Amino acid sequence: MSDPLNNRLDRTRSELADFLRRRRESLTPLDVGLPVGKRRRTPGLRREEVAALAGVGVTWYTWLEQGRAIKVSTAFLDNVSRVLKLDEIERRHLFLLAHQRPPAMAGQAWCALPPLVRRLLDDLTRRPSYVLNLRWDVIGWNEAAEHLFGFEQRDAAERNMLWMLFADDRLSSRIVEWSVQAPQVLASFRRDFAQAPEDDSMVALVDALERMSPSFRHLWNRHDVHGRCEGRRSFMIEGQGPVAFDHSSFIVDEEKHLRLVFYAAV
């Protein structure tokens, strides 16, 4: 009786072998800066050429392309992806076939709001909602969120949730139990910061807040890390007093690291 797991692994290795071979054969020597030569019989690149350009062993690359049961590193697959000129979708496909998991996505502070997400915000007429990028810039919001947070009252450069919470008392002074909420907020951001620790805009934000806010500097140096920021938060609303909201966040575009933050009054 056949083993379903072994059958699935065999199919995956066969797909991996076919994918690598077809991508290799689709490239010409000129595509990768090699001379064409007169005696070339193999369509596309040779295996040894791919291995040499990727800086990996030709035997190991040959075994990978043959679908053998070998283990290769992330760096190995990244180098092969570079030589074969795979785009992000093809690179992800290679990792899924070779590692059974997708590659880590490079962090990027995306600043454009997809039209469908804009429609989603507009449909949430009674629930304050906004969209954050990886840097926690607020790149979209609905009318209910405008009433609660006042995004339009701020310069575009200051429409950043961390900046508003730590360097602008127009918001922080209205949050009940700020001393409890602040560590949770910053510990959640640190998780996102770890995805792009060398991004100039992310580093500049942290540096500026460390200069501007002793509270931020103290909490940042604690190195606390939490999951997504969710729970209950209360705001002082003019003419009403404290109003409690349950809040949570939802990924609306994983590749662009866009997150919708949703508030519902209790």
| pLDDT single digits (tens) 210-266 | 999 999 999 999 988 876 778 999 999 988 999 999 999 999 988 788 999 999 999
| pLDDT single digits (tens) 25-49 | 999 888 888 887 667 776 789 999 9
Q: Is the pTM of this model over 0.85?
A: no
Long-range contacts of 167-175 (CB under 8 A, 24+ apart): 167/208, 167/209, 167/212, 167/213, 167/216, 173/236, 174/235, 174/236, 174/237, 175/233, 175/234, 175/235, 175/236
**How far is it, in rounded angstroms, from Cα 92 to Cα 55?**
21
Local structure of residue 137 (DSSP, 8 states): B
* The 231-237 sheet, strands edge to edge: 138-141, 129-132, 258-265, 241-253, 231-237
Give the bridge partners for 263, in sequence order: 247
For residue 263, the model assigns a pLDDT of 96
For residue 183, the model assigns a pLDDT of 92
- pLDDT, the chain, mean: 88
Here the tokens at position 73 are: 């590193």
pLDDT of 11 above 90: no
For residue 110, the model assigns a pLDDT of 62
- For 4, counting Cβ atoms within 10 Å of its Cβ (0-12 exposed, 13-18 middle, 19+ buried), the class is exposed
| pLDDT single digits (tens) 76-114 | 998 999 999 998 789 889 988 888 877 765 555 667 888
Binned at pLDDT 50, 70 and 90, residue 1 comes out as: very low
Q: Are 122 and 116 in contact (CB under 8 A)?
A: no
- How many CA atoms does the CB half-sphere of 61 hold within 13 Å? 25
Helix axes 88-99, 4-25, angle to 10 degrees: 140
| pLDDT single digits (tens) 135-179 | 999 999 999 999 999 999 999 889 999 999 999 889 999 999 999
For residue 22, the model assigns a pLDDT of 92
- The residue type of 264 is A
**How far is it, in rounded angstroms, from Cα 29 to Cα 21?**
15
- Strand pairing class (258-265; 241-253): antiparallel
Binned at pLDDT 50, 70 and 90, residue 199 comes out as: confident
For residue 108, the model assigns a pLDDT of 57
Q: Are 202 and 134 in contact (CB under 8 A)?
A: yes
